Structure 1
Amino acid sequence: MDFIIILLLILVIFIAYGMTIRKKIYKEVDRLEAWKIDIMNRPVTDEMAMVKSLNMVGQTEELFEKWRNKWDEIVTTDLPDVEEILFDIEDYADKYRMRKAKLLAKDLHDHLQKIEDSIQTILSELQELVGSEEQNRVGIEELKQLYRDVKRSLLAHSNSFGKAEATMEKILDHTMVRFKDFDETMSNGNVLAAKGIVLSIKEKLENMQQLIEDLPTLLKECQFTIPNQLSELLQGINEMKDQGFVLSHLQIEKEISLIHDQLATYLNQIEEAEINSAKSGLVELQAKIESFYDQLENEVLSKNFVNQEVHPIHGSLDYLYDEIKETKSETEQVQLSYQLSDQDIEIQKNIETQINQLLKRFTNVKSSVEEQDVAYSIIKNELEDIKHQIEAIKDSHQEFSGVLQTLRKDELYVKAQLNEMRKMLLESKRLVQKSNLPGLPESYLVDITECNQQVIKIAEKLEEKPLHIPVLTVMLNRALEDVKNLSITTEEMLEQAYLVEQVIQYGNRYRGRSLHMSEKLTEAELAFRHFEYSRALEEAATALEKVEPGALKKIHYLIETK
């Protein structure tokens, strides 16, 4: 029973699904049917009737026949086939052959789209033909007027075109022939070909207008403007040479000769009415001439710089040379008292070498200025570099001078610190003597002896000639640290010794009450007499805190308030 129910449910679902799909296919058939009807009702025939108003020969006749045949094929063959396919789709749907129906519907859609595309091609080509015919007639009349205007301009300004006038006349004559070609092409019904002729004539006449506008100016530049500029440039170069300028490195005369050759080439092109290359070439020549003037101006500015700077630079060099010479003498004196590092000695030698080389360079530059055998721009570059080198040597020299001054400062600093250490040692000894200690620990005696020896060695090192400041500095730093530590140790030792005495005195009140206390205090006294102040304090303080917690804090307070 359950099996039958499930089977019936599946059957119902299948039938419902089939009906849904069949409904969709019927809907698609209706859409394709409407599309077919729309295509049948297109006014293609009416549109093609417009072509009959044209001259039905040649290209026009061929296009019309092609469009008519294509439309007849669509109406008599393609669309009836569409009707049959629509019936087949419905038949497949009725028989629940859905997959076949869908494939056939898709193929029919593609077929109708191809028909649609063919119709659009016919209509667009038709519109282009009809539109071109009208555009051609309007356009050719405008071009005839433009031709007459160009012809008048050419005749009115014929003297401005030189030999190019003959070439321009030939262009106009050829253009007139193209007008005849247009009439013949139109009479043969070749509307689209005639459109190409219209565009060709328009391009030629526009080029002629541009020629009429540009050619006189280009001729003037080629024949007069640029040659005059070159003559003025050569004259300026000769005048500058007479004034002592060296200009051979610029090679402007050679460039001017090349420009004359280029002008001849551009002139031939202009006379042949080929102005595009000449037009851009003349712009480049003008830019090149401007660059020549910039180079000459640079030489003038360079001369002014040289005249203004050569003497100040000479003075700076002499002053720096004298300073370096004095520093050399000072270095020799310093070396009698101090040892200089190999690096410092090398720096001093390098500074001396650099100033000597720079003096030689400047001498050569000054000689070139006097003899006027080198371009001022080159001399200017040399002087600028020399100025830069002077500043660099100045910096190195100042740094080295600072090293020499630092040596004396370091010596004075060592002496001052030596005196300070002596005072610190004397103060430590004074405090020890004043404390009336029973004696001093062995380690303390070793430390104070070591500190005394270090101070003596530093004093002896200071008497050596020449002094080795880096070594002295290392010795000083180590000794200074040891002496400061000794001072701290001295204060701590004296504080411990005094505190031990106070703790033992305070703890004596408990000797009779506690045997342990008595023994610990005795041990502390024994350590004190053996100069072990730290251990004595530890023994006494630990024992006292056991019998009276907080006693050590109380003793500290009593000491501070005395």
Structure 2
Amino acid sequence: MAYIIGVILAIIVLIIIGLILRKRVYETVDQHESWKLDIMNRNVAAEIARMKNLNLSGETKEKFEMWKDRWEYIVTKELPDVEEYLFDAEEAADRYRFRTANKILRKIEQVLHSIEKDIGQILLELEELLKTEEESRKEVEQLQPLIKDLRKTLSQNRFQYDKAEVRFDVEIDELEDELKEYYEQVASGSYSEAKEIVNQLNERINELEKELNEFPEIYRLCRHDLPAQLDDLHAGLRSMKEEGYRVEHLGFEKEINDYQSRLLDCVHALEKSGTEEVKKTLPELEERIQEMYQLLEKEALAKNYLETKIPGYQSTLSEFSNLFQGTKEEVEQLRSAYYFEDHDTEKYLTLEKMIDQLNNQLQEIKEDMDNKSLAHSELRNRLEEGFAQLEKLQEEHEQLKKRINNLRKDELEAKEKLTEMRDQIQYIHRKLTKSNIPGVPNYIWNLMESAIEKNDRVFQALEKQPLDISAVQQALSKANKAVSEAMDKTDVMLEQAYLTEQVIQYANRYRSAYPVLAGKLHESERLFRSNEYELALEQAAAAVEEIEPGALKKIEKNQEAIAQL
């Protein structure tokens, strides 16, 4: 019983699956049927019929026939076959032959895809053809008046084109021939070839229009302006030679002849071929002609410069030589009295050598001016270099003079400073003598002796012959430092001694009441009499501060007030 139920259930399941699969086939058949009907309803024939507005011959006719035949084949053969395939697929599905039905459906899909692809290609190529025809026609409508304008421009300005008129006439004739060829291609239905012709025609018209516009200017330059400039340049060159200017080294005669020949070649090229190559050549020629004018002008200016500047340069150099001769004599005298640093001696000798070189250079320039062996521009460069060197020498000579003057000035200042330091030492000695202190500490006398000794060394340095001012200044610096230290230490020592006396006098008021304080004051007095003023002050200040804090500051202020009176 269970076996029978299982078989029944399996049959039911199979029937359900079969129904589902058959439904799917029906749905796919319906989709393909809709796809087929959509293709049939497309107005492809009307689109192809748009070609009838064109010249149906040649290439265009071939395409029209091919596209029309392909569409008719689709409508009369492939789509009816698809209809049959759809019936076969439904019939197979009815018989539960799903594998056969799916195979038929895949074939239908392939056919429909192929049809879609062909239709798309037809419409694309058709649109491109119509677009090409329309664009070409519109461009030709614009190009025709342009060609007429070119012919009119040439006719009205023939004198500007000279012999090149023939070449331009031929080129315009060729443009008109290409225009005729365009119409011939259109008439034969070759619209793609016609489009190529239009593109080439458009490019050639633009080039010819550009050349017609720029030709007169370029031709005038090559035929008249630049040759005239070269003639003027040649005449000026010859005139400058006659007036004594040195221009032979420039070699312009051959270069001018070469450029005249090149300009003739440019004229022939303009008449026979075009402006393109000539346009590359002209900038070079124009630039070089301007350079030649500038070089000639430079030579003329150089000659005038030399004639006007050499006398002044000679006079300035002579005056400077005489001035240096005086400095030289002064230096020779001073070298016996002063020591000169190596760099000062080297600078002095270099100045003498450079002055001799400038005199020799001036003589060479004057000789070259007479024998005409060099260009004026080169001689000018040498003279300008001489001016620059002379100016530099004058500056260096001025520095040397200042250095010489400073030697004497430094000596006088050193002697004055030595006298001042000796006075300071005497002042310190008087100050110590007049002070009422018990005695002077040894370190003060040692500082005094050191200052006196260093002053003697300054004096000895000043007495040496030749005088080495650097050694003098070094000794002077050491002596000044020693004197300053002696003065400072003496002032501090005296201040400590006076302050110690004041502190002891102030503390005496507490001596009887404070035995400890009395002992410390006694020790401070002993140190004071032993010339130990710093220690004595420390002992007395510490003792009085213990009894009366702040007493030391009060005593110091009182002493400062007395000192200001």
SS in 1 for 2:130: helix
Alignment map for 1:2-151 (pairs within 5 Å):
44-65=44-65, 67-68=67-68, 118=121, 121-132=124-135, 134-135=137-138, 138=141, 142=145, 145=148, 149=152
Identify the range of structure 1 (485-494 vs 126-135) with the bigger mean alpha-carbon deviation. Answer: 126-135
* Equivalent position of 1:555 in the other structure: 555
Q: More deviation in 513-522 or 448-457?
A: 513-522
User: CA offset at residue 216 of structure 1?
Assistant: 6.3
Tell me, in whole angstroms, the C-alpha distance in 2 between the residues paired with 1:408 and 1:534: 46
- Report deviation, 1:430: 0.8
> CA separation in 2, counterparts of 1:205 and 1:559?
114
Q: Contact (CA 8 Å) 1:424, 1:483: kept in 2 or not?
A: yes
Letter of the structure 1 residue corresponding to residue 375 of structure 2: A
Contact 1:321-1:355 within 8 A present in 2 as well: yes
CA distance in 1, matches of 2:478, 2:253: 77
Q: Secondary structure at the match of 1:339?
A: coil
- For residues 192 and 538 of structure 1, the distance between their equivalents in structure 2, rounded to whole angstroms, comes to 122
- Per-residue CA deviation, residues 408-432 of structure 1 (Å, 9 max, x unaligned), is 2211221121122112111111111
Q: Give me the whole-angstrom Cα distance separating, in 1, the residues matched to 2:368 and 2:39.
A: 96
Q: Which moved more, 1:39-48 or 1:549-558?
A: 39-48
Structure 2 equivalent of residue 187 of structure 1: 187
Q: CA deviation at 1:111?
A: 10
For the pair 1:358 / 2:361, whether they are aligned, the reply is no
Tell me which residue corresponds to 1:197.
197
Q: Look up the match of 1:463.
A: 463
Shift of 1:147: 7.8
Q: Distance in 1 between matches of 2:494 and 2:284?
A: 98
- 1:306 partner letter: L
Distance 1:520 1:144 in 2: 131
In structure 2, the CA distance between the partners of 1:459 and 1:112, relative to structure 1 (3 Å rule), is: farther
Q: Which whole-Å CA distance do the structure 2 matches of 1:474 and 1:135 have between them? A: 102
Residue 248 of structure 1 and its aligned partner are, at CA, apart by 2.6
Q: Is the 8 A contact 2:147 2:205 kept in 1?
A: no
Unaligned runs of 5+ in 2: 1-31, 90-109
Q: Secondary structure at the match of 1:520?
A: helix
Is the 2:246–2:372 Cα contact (8 Å) retained in structure 1? yes
Deviations 1:233-277 (Å, cap 9, x if unpaired)? 211101101111111332211211221332243233233233321
Tell me if structure 2 keeps the 8 A contact 1:503–1:555. Answer: yes
Paired position in structure 1 for 2:316: 316
Match of 2:506 in 1: 506
Rate the CA distance shift 1:520–1:38 in 2: closer, same or farther, 3 A: farther
The alignment-based identity, stated in percent, is: 32
- The C-alpha deviation readout for 1:13-54, integer Å capped at 9, x for no partner, is xxxxxxxxxxxxxxxxxxx99999998876554343221122
Aligned-partner Cα distance in 2 for 1:468–1:230: 71
Answer whether contact 1:36 1:112 (CA < 8 A) is retained.
no
Aligned partner of residue 56 in structure 1, secondary structure: coil
Q: 1:47 to 1:437 in 2, by over 3 A?
A: same
Alignment partner, residue 15 of structure 2: none
The structure-2 alpha-carbon separation of the partners of 1:542 and 1:200, relative to structure 1 and needing over 3 Å to count, comes to closer
Who is 1:347 aligned against? 347
Aligned length: 505
Q: Which amino acid aligns with 2:423?
A: K
Structure 2 vs 1, CA of residues 281 and 117 (structure 1 numbering), >3 Å: closer, same or farther? Answer: farther
CA distance in 1, matches of 2:477, 2:449: 17
Residue 377 of structure 2 is matched in structure 1 by 377
Alignment of 1:447-458 (within 5 A): 447-458=447-458
Q: Which residue of 2 aligns with 1:332?
A: 332
Aligned match of 1:526: 526
The one-letter code sitting in structure 2 at the alignment partner of 1:239 is: S
- Can you give the 5+ residue segments of structure 1 that lack an aligned partner in the other structure? 1-31, 88-106
Distance 1:38 1:357 in 2: 108
Which residue matches 1:441?
A: 441
Amino acid at match of 1:385: E
Partner Cα separation in structure 1 for residue 459 and residue 505 of structure 2: 46
1:559: how far off? 3.5
Query: Match of 1:397, SS?
Result: helix
Q: How is 1:140-219 mapped onto 2 (pairs within 5 angstroms)? A: 142=145, 145=148, 149=152, 153=155, 157=158, 161-162=162-163, 164=164, 167-168=167-168, 170-171=170-171, 174=174, 177-178=177-178, 181-201=181-201
CA distance in 2, matches of 1:550, 1:183: 127
Give a deviation string over 1:515-556, Cα, whole Å, max 9, x none: 433332222222222211111222222223223333333433
Tell me what 1:24 maps to.
Answer: none
Q: d(CA) in 2 for partners of 1:432 and 1:174?
A: 125
Amino acid at match of 1:242: E
**Aligned-CA RMSD value:** 4.0
**Gap change, CA 1:113 and 1:252, over 3 Å in 2:** farther
Q: Does 1:231 align with 2:234?
A: no
Q: Which residue of 2 aligns with 1:410?
A: 410
> Quick one: distance in 2 between partners of 1:460 and 1:166?
107
What corresponds to 2:16 in structure 1?
none
Aligned equivalents of 1:198, 1:280: Cα separation in 2: 30
Q: Matches of 2:343 and 2:35 in 1, distance apart?
A: 100
Q: What is the CA deviation profile of residues 137-156 of structure 1, one whole-angstrom value per residue up to 9, with x for unaligned ones?
A: 74685477468647x829x9
SS class of match (1:466): coil
Shift of 1:483: 0.9
Asked whether the equivalents of residues 269 and 278 of structure 2 are also in contact (C-alpha less than 8 Å), the reply is yes
**1:27 maps to which residue?**
none
Q: Deviation per CA, 1:375-395, whole angstroms, max 9, x where unpaired?
A: 222222222222222222222
Other-structure match for 2:261 = 261
* Counterpart for residue 540 of structure 1: 540
1:274 aligned residue: 274
Partner SS state of residue 324, structure 1: helix
Q: Give the deviation of 1:328 after TM superposition.
A: 2.0
Maintained 8 Å contact 2:269/2:275: yes
User: How many angstroms apart in 2 are the aligned matches of 1:561 and 1:141?
Assistant: 119
Give 1:489's aligned residue.
489
Cα pair 1:61 1:189 within 8 Å, conserved: yes
Q: Which amino acid aligns with 2:273?
A: A
Q: Residue 112 and residue 537 in structure 1: after superposition, are their counterparts in 2 closer, same or farther (change >3 A)? A: farther
Aligned position for 1:517: 517
Distance in 1 separating the partners of 2:559 and 2:174: 131
AA aligned to 1:275 is T
Relative distance call for 1:115 and 1:196 in structure 2 (3 A) is: closer
TM-score under structure 2 length normalisation = 0.77
**1: CA distance, partners of 2:508 / 2:213:** 131
536-545 vs 478-487, which moves further: 536-545
| Structure 2 counterpart of 1:18 | none
Q: 1:161·1:216 contact (CA, 8 Å) conserved in 2?
A: no
